[in-house]
Chain A
């Protein structure tokens, strides 16, 4: 994946072009004001020359100062241009940043709700760090480029006015520099990309090795790991040095190009002045253009177009990777039902064809209103079971239906939401307490919420947060247990007839856990509990024990006497 990004940065520029197109009026305004901003460059040499020839060298201080004041006036105008150029620039840059953030956020969350797509924290980095850097680079690019390009044009125009032969040399030098740097650009860029790839490879190897640091030390593999990493480190160092050599060559060409016109001026000046072709003032003016404007402008353009352009390309490509919409978006399911009878028929589940089957041939009918508890050792497929029951995953064979409708086809949105799944990791967001509690049922009344809080035991918590209008500014203000209480209330007021609690009470005290589980059962809904503690199983109508092979199903008493694994999980000496 990273390989693709680093090798094809051009794709990212499309994002930029789209924003630029929407802001084309801003772009035009930016160009016009930049023209004014670069104005002082056009007249700098000419006015300095005139100030010398007609003023200071002619013994006329007033004229000299007046002409310099004229230059100062153009500087003030240029400042106005600089001032007016800021807002169009800001509009473009900030819109681009927002566009990228929006695309990334939309695509990340859209991918996150499609099975088989992976979403990780790097998207967050893409949204914040990369867009911020990109915004700074882009404003640098636009700021430097617009003034430098106009400066370059104006310097050459000014030189044509003062000393045409030097102007011709400047044009030739500029063209040579640009042509040489442009033709070597692809070689330079591909070396930079190779260096980036080498760095990514190193950081991938290093990441895997450090993640397994305990294992590397424990199996005595420090030498092997060091050898692997040394190879990557050396590869990276060589790639970077290759970049260095190209950069050195490019710097030499640039420096040569920027200084050649000055050398030409110096070599021809004595003859030109003595023959009267060039006045002393014009000589100074031309030198001012060359030293003060041509050299910096040329360097700025090369730096900006080369380094910053390359960095922007890489960042854009990376952001585009995070802003990639899901490959196979799922249409929102629309079937509805109000029943509560869940049936699993010959269900098999595996993540991929060659992977080990997590569930194999599971047959189970859960009656409407039943309290079913699922237990098993870790890795036995409990969360897979929860996902299948809630319709988040489809079985690789067999069916899971609610009142005859495949659960994966059921509408999950309010008000049709047929099944509510509460995962272990409680999702609480910054907002009001009411918003958080009514998440699954926006139409719920305050009275219903109050009853629900009392039923699952969240009333103290809501009171402590300042009632339903209280704020939760940062979810981390709440403990894990408090977050679970919030989600329990949420599920309690949800319109669903089926509730799946996937270790959703694991951070609660056992007594509170019992109260919450009993409250759900008392509503007459079908309640499936993936148990974190065995005590949940003792309160169940029936217990499903998952393990390799087909699961055991029965009451707590039955399983304790028939299943050694179940007895083991419960701790068998209790009865002996």
Chain B
């Protein structure tokens, strides 16, 4: 599978490239803008001096006015280029990330939580897309400041020296200021986190709070650290007050010193009045150098965001082959299959053959690898050793599009995507005919409650409240309405009672004419109805046969007795 994000270097480079003309334009107009900012004070000064010496009509004034107009246009165009470069990069990064996310199999999906992926898709791409903008935002002020310092020396080296002597005092005071505030801020952050924790705890405990009528007491508990936070924040402000005074007067005092040196220069005829103005303007540019400390942090954030995108790009995608699916009716084969998830060996040496059209139950204690086995069966997880075949062809060699049509899944907790019920069932397979859709709803036992909904199958999903059992049955119908060769049911009927489960199974047997069914069974009755049982124990197949045959093994019986004698999970002390 192609690696959309990582194939051509870092996400930052991708972002810069994706902006294409806009990135280039941004660099260009920024360069013009910088040049204008640096040139204007000198020319302004020269124009004033020329006017004072030679009187009206000097061309320099017109040059300055022209430059100001050019700067104005460049400044405005910078915005257009910035927005355009950013949205292009954003679109490219987001689509690239999505393209890869959809190839993530079982293994890749486990590596990221949904919230984490969402954050990467929305925030990290946004931050990375600012690359071009950040480059100009850091470079333009930096060049401007350096230009300002150089200009001070050019006008009169004494002015430059005055800046270099007094500047460090400014830096030291600012640093001291930052250091003092940091410790107090850390305390405030703790208090703030405490508010968040207490509120989160209380929200989790809402049922207890509601049942105990203790909502007022709990509100007080959450607000206590919020009051501490107010106190701490006020002491931070008090600190700031002491320092703000120092910084507030230092910058103007620096300016006064530079003006004094410049005035002395005017008196000694070293410089003109206009140059004194230029010195004053360049000083403002030069002081900008002290504000540059923040850009290191911004660059750090940009790189961190890019790394977060990189991590998704590096997550293993599903293997995709080119081989078309051979004819067949869904014969499933495992040969010496082993799988590791998160560095831990889950399954090893799993071998079995399932004839087409049969129903196979996977049985085993919780955590033994039943879900991993079903993921392997449909190619959502590539085996580390051995091969999984569908109708004789190794699954890894098959075209992804063919494979996804041939194997469908129904889950214990399906996520229904799409606009309406009908859209959700046809999601990814828009050609399912109406008759088939209705038949699938009927055999999944969902026809009745769907008919009760305001607009039947056309009821929008947004705002619809469905019980776990209802969602489960719709998930089953979504699988049943497609013409697949293999239906994998991962605990897909856990929320319905045994009688209903039996009825649905029987209906599916008819509806899914002849297709192979692989299901995870927790209930004895489910295992008993299957044609075969694949019994997993200690990471591998412990037995294959009918339920009745396997029942002779006490270890097999123990799988179903787990409710009666649970494994010690918690000692409580």
A72 adjacent to B253 (CB under 8 Å): yes
Chain A positions 138 through 158: 1 when the CB is less than 8 Å from some CB of chain B, otherwise 0: 000000000000000000000
A251 adjacent to B498 (CB under 8 Å): no
A355 adjacent to B114 (CB under 8 Å): no
Chain A CB within 8 A of B546 CB:
no
Decide yes or no: A255 and B87 within 8 Å by CB, A292-B284, A354-B454 being known contacts.
no
Chain B CB within 8 A of A35 CB:
no
Chain A positions 58 through 91: 1 when the CB is less than 8 Å from some CB of chain B, otherwise 0: 0101001100110110011011101100110111
Chain A CB within 8 A of B537 CB:
no
Chain A CB within 8 A of B95 CB:
yes
Residue B210 contacts which of A113, A202, A256, A480 (CB distance < 8 angstroms)? A113
Residue B52 contacts which of A223, A273, A533 (CB distance < 8 angstroms)? A273
A355 adjacent to B76 (CB under 8 Å): no
The closest CB in chain B to the CB of A430 belongs to B198
**Could you say which of B41, B114, B200, B475 has the most chain A C-beta atoms within 10 Å of its C-beta?**
B114
Chain B CB within 8 A of A475 CB:
yes
Chain B CB within 8 A of A477 CB:
no
Q: Which of A8-16, A19-27, A179-187, A212-220 contacts B (4 or more CB under 8 A)?
A: A212-220
B570 adjacent to A270 (CB under 8 Å): no
Chain A CB within 8 A of B140 CB:
no
User: Which B507-552 residues have a C-beta within 8 angstroms of A?
Assistant: 523-525, 551
User: Which A198-212 residues have a C-beta within 8 angstroms of B?
Assistant: 199, 202-203, 206-212
Residues of the A chain whose Cβ atoms lie less than 8 Å from the Cβ of B195: 101, 105, 127-128
Chain B CB within 8 A of A303 CB:
no
Chain B CB within 8 A of A305 CB:
no
**Size bin of chain A's contact surface:** 35 or more
Chain B CB within 8 A of A544 CB:
no
B79 adjacent to A217 (CB under 8 Å): no
**Size bin of chain B's contact surface:** 35 or more
Chain B CB within 8 A of A399 CB:
no
Chain B CB within 8 A of A263 CB:
yes
A244 adjacent to B498 (CB under 8 Å): no
Residues of the B chain whose Cβ atoms lie less than 8 Å from the Cβ of A421: 207-208, 211
Chain B CB within 8 A of A168 CB:
no
Residues of the B chain whose Cβ atoms lie less than 8 Å from the Cβ of A352: 465
Chain A CB within 8 A of B101 CB:
yes
Chain B CB within 8 A of A161 CB:
no
Q: In the complex the two chains form, what is the Cα distance from A570 to B264 in whole Å?
A: 100
Residue B428 contacts which of A79, A120, A221, A280 (CB distance < 8 angstroms)? A221
Closest chain-A Cβ to B46's Cβ sits at a distance in Å of 12
Q: In the complex the two chains form, what is the Cα distance from A76 to B430 in whole Å?
A: 75
Chain B CB within 8 A of A332 CB:
yes
B205 adjacent to A429 (CB under 8 Å): yes
Residues of the A chain whose Cβ atoms lie less than 8 Å from the Cβ of B9: none
Residue B467 contacts which of A210, A229, A358 (CB distance < 8 angstroms)? A358
Chain A CB within 8 A of B327 CB:
no
A57 adjacent to B266 (CB under 8 Å): yes
Residues of the A chain whose Cβ atoms lie less than 8 Å from the Cβ of B121: 206, 210
Chain A CB within 8 A of B169 CB:
no
Residues of the A chain whose Cβ atoms lie less than 8 Å from the Cβ of B99: 226
Closest chain-B Cβ to A269's Cβ sits at a distance in Å of 5
The closest CB in chain B to the CB of A65 belongs to B260
Residues of the A chain whose Cβ atoms lie less than 8 Å from the Cβ of B467: 351, 355-356, 358, 379
Q: Which of A364-372, A443-451, A506-514 contacts B (4 or more CB under 8 A)?
A: A506-514
Decide yes or no: A212 and B428 within 8 Å by CB, A86-B244, A417-B213, A457-B572 being known contacts.
no
B199 adjacent to A124 (CB under 8 Å): yes
Closest chain-A Cβ to B87's Cβ sits at a distance in Å of 4
A284 adjacent to B525 (CB under 8 Å): no
User: Which A316-369 residues have a C-beta within 8 angstroms of B?
Assistant: 332, 351-352, 354-356, 358
The closest CB in chain A to the CB of B493 belongs to A377
A105 adjacent to B222 (CB under 8 Å): yes
User: Which B419-438 residues have a C-beta within 8 angstroms of A?
Assistant: 427-430
User: Which B79-99 residues have a C-beta within 8 angstroms of A?
Assistant: 79-80, 82-84, 86-88, 90-91, 94-95, 98-99
B404 adjacent to A271 (CB under 8 Å): no
Residues of the B chain whose Cβ atoms lie less than 8 Å from the Cβ of A226: 95, 98-99, 102
B122 adjacent to A377 (CB under 8 Å): no
B83 adjacent to A509 (CB under 8 Å): no
Decide yes or no: A109 and B380 within 8 Å by CB, A288-B280, A291-B280, A427-B201 being known contacts.
no
Chain A CB within 8 A of B281 CB:
yes
A233 adjacent to B209 (CB under 8 Å): no
Decide yes or no: A291 and B241 within 8 Å by CB, A203-B122, A378-B468 being known contacts.
no
A249 adjacent to B417 (CB under 8 Å): no
Chain B CB within 8 A of A401 CB:
no
A223 adjacent to B91 (CB under 8 Å): no
Q: In the complex the two chains form, what is the Cα distance from A220 to B479 in whole Å?
A: 11
Decide yes or no: A427 and B470 within 8 Å by CB, A68-B259, A213-B117, A507-B570 being known contacts.
no
Chain B CB within 8 A of A539 CB:
no
User: Which B247-269 residues have a C-beta within 8 angstroms of A?
Assistant: 248-249, 252-253, 256, 259-260, 263-264, 266-267
Q: Which of A234-242, A307-315, A519-527 contacts B (4 or more CB under 8 A)?
A: A234-242
Q: Mostly helix, strand, loop or mixed at chain A's interface?
A: helix
Chain A positions 402 through 425: 1 when the CB is less than 8 Å from some CB of chain B, otherwise 0: 000000000111000101111101
Decide yes or no: A248 and B95 within 8 Å by CB, A65-B263, A128-B192, A439-B212 being known contacts.
no
Decide yes or no: A475 and B118 within 8 Å by CB, A224-B428, A481-B572 being known contacts.
no
Chain A CB within 8 A of B361 CB:
no
B244 adjacent to A213 (CB under 8 Å): no
Residues of the A chain whose Cβ atoms lie less than 8 Å from the Cβ of B160: none
The closest CB in chain A to the CB of B123 belongs to A203
Residues of the A chain whose Cβ atoms lie less than 8 Å from the Cβ of B193: 128
A267 adjacent to B199 (CB under 8 Å): no
Chain B positions 19 through 52: 1 when the CB is less than 8 Å from some CB of chain A, otherwise 0: 0000000000000000000000100100110011
B56 adjacent to A271 (CB under 8 Å): yes
A568 adjacent to B523 (CB under 8 Å): yes
A378 adjacent to B494 (CB under 8 Å): yes
Chain B CB within 8 A of A276 CB:
no
Residues of the A chain whose Cβ atoms lie less than 8 Å from the Cβ of B106: 214
Q: In the complex the two chains form, what is the Cα distance from A439 to B76 in whole Å?
A: 63
Chain A positions 547 through 576: 1 when the CB is less than 8 Å from some CB of chain B, otherwise 0: 110000000000000001100111111100
Q: In the complex the two chains form, what is the Cα distance from A283 to B51 in whole Å?
A: 11
Closest chain-B Cβ to A455's Cβ sits at a distance in Å of 14
B260 adjacent to A68 (CB under 8 Å): yes
A509 adjacent to B122 (CB under 8 Å): no
Q: In the complex the two chains form, what is the Cα distance from A377 to B206 in whole Å?
A: 25
Q: Which of B232-240, B328-336, B352-360 contacts A (4 or more CB under 8 A)?
A: B232-240
Residue A240 contacts which of B87, B246, B403 (CB distance < 8 angstroms)? B87
Chain A CB within 8 A of B203 CB:
yes
Residues of the A chain whose Cβ atoms lie less than 8 Å from the Cβ of B249: 75-76, 78-79
Residues of the A chain whose Cβ atoms lie less than 8 Å from the Cβ of B219: 105-106, 109-110
Closest chain-A Cβ to B445's Cβ sits at a distance in Å of 10
User: Which B275-297 residues have a C-beta within 8 angstroms of A?
Assistant: 276-277, 280-281, 284
B234 adjacent to A267 (CB under 8 Å): no
The closest CB in chain B to the CB of A377 belongs to B497
User: Which A124-177 residues have a C-beta within 8 angstroms of B?
Assistant: 124, 127-128, 132, 135
A56 adjacent to B48 (CB under 8 Å): no
Chain B CB within 8 A of A468 CB:
no
B495 adjacent to A378 (CB under 8 Å): yes
Chain B positions 223 through 234: 1 when the CB is less than 8 Å from some CB of chain A, otherwise 0: 100110110011
Residue B497 contacts which of A211, A217, A247, A565 (CB distance < 8 angstroms)? A565
Chain A CB within 8 A of B453 CB:
yes
Chain A CB within 8 A of B180 CB:
no
Chain A positions 239 through 264: 1 when the CB is less than 8 Å from some CB of chain B, otherwise 0: 01101110111011001100100110
Residues of the A chain whose Cβ atoms lie less than 8 Å from the Cβ of B284: 291-292
The closest CB in chain B to the CB of A101 belongs to B226
Q: Which 8 A-B pairs have the closest CB atoms?
A: A221-B428, A244-B83, A220-B404, A427-B205, A212-B415, A90-B237, A412-B213, A481-B570
7 A-B interface contacts by CB (under 8 A):
A59-B267, A83-B248, A214-B109, A281-B273, A379-B495, A508-B570, A509-B572
